Amino acid sequence: MTKTIIFLNGYGTPTAVSKQKFVWNDPMWSDYTRLYRPSATPTSDEMIEKELISLEKLIGSFSFPIVAGHSLGSWWLSNLIIRNQVYIPKAVYLTPLADITKYPKIFNSSNKYYPLENHIDIGLTGPDKHLIMYANRDLITPNIQGLLLSIHLDGSEYILRGGHCYQYNHMSGLVFMKNWIEEK
């Protein structure tokens, strides 16, 4: 079976940057079919719904794809996993942006999305389904947000030493991520 991983890039992060070793490290995933998807900025509830439908179609076009989101990409991923139409066998959240309401000058929506607290029983919870990788000195997504995501998803956790984008143990974190994904 072909292994597929879909990377949802962070806010304003071009694919060329996401492929670099300090984000997803494209060469590391050479045994996977890889797809890098820019994260659209949530500008309205209608736009969010259209983007989620587009992401659903993308994910549905692959057999059992792994999905990994960085920052805003994790926000999109979190919205996808609570939709009944989507099956994601394993999801990875790298320094996840959990709450867009803290950034009203960038995002414009009613925040009816990402209601994980209202969807505790989403059916795909557990440490073998979700990996939350948060940084211990992240000023954009404070640790508590990553922990709250972990509480709702009952996910595995990995602590990165550093900030939102740059960590001292980033490569070892990616190795951990790949090993976690490939566990049966």
**Can you give the pLDDT of all 184 residues of the chain as single tens digits?**
689 999 999 999 999 999 999 899 999 999 999 999 999 999 898 999 999 999 999 999 999 999 999 999 999 998 888 887 788 999 999 999 877 878 877 888 777 776 666 665 556 678 889 999 999 999 988 888 778 788 888 889 999 999 998 999 999 999 999 999 999 7
Per-domain residue ranges of the chain: 4-182
Nearest Cα to Cα of residue 68 among 129, 150, 2, 22:
129
pTM of the model: 0.93
pLDDT at 173: 97
pLDDT at 110: 77
Half-sphere CA count of 141, side-chain side, radius 13 A: 30
pLDDT at 153: 84
Domain 4-182, CATH? 3.40.50.1820
pLDDT at 123: 64
DSSP class of residue 22 equals T
176: burial class by Cβ within 10 Å (0-12, 13-18, 19+)? Answer: middle
Helix (H) or strand (E) holding 175: helix 170-182
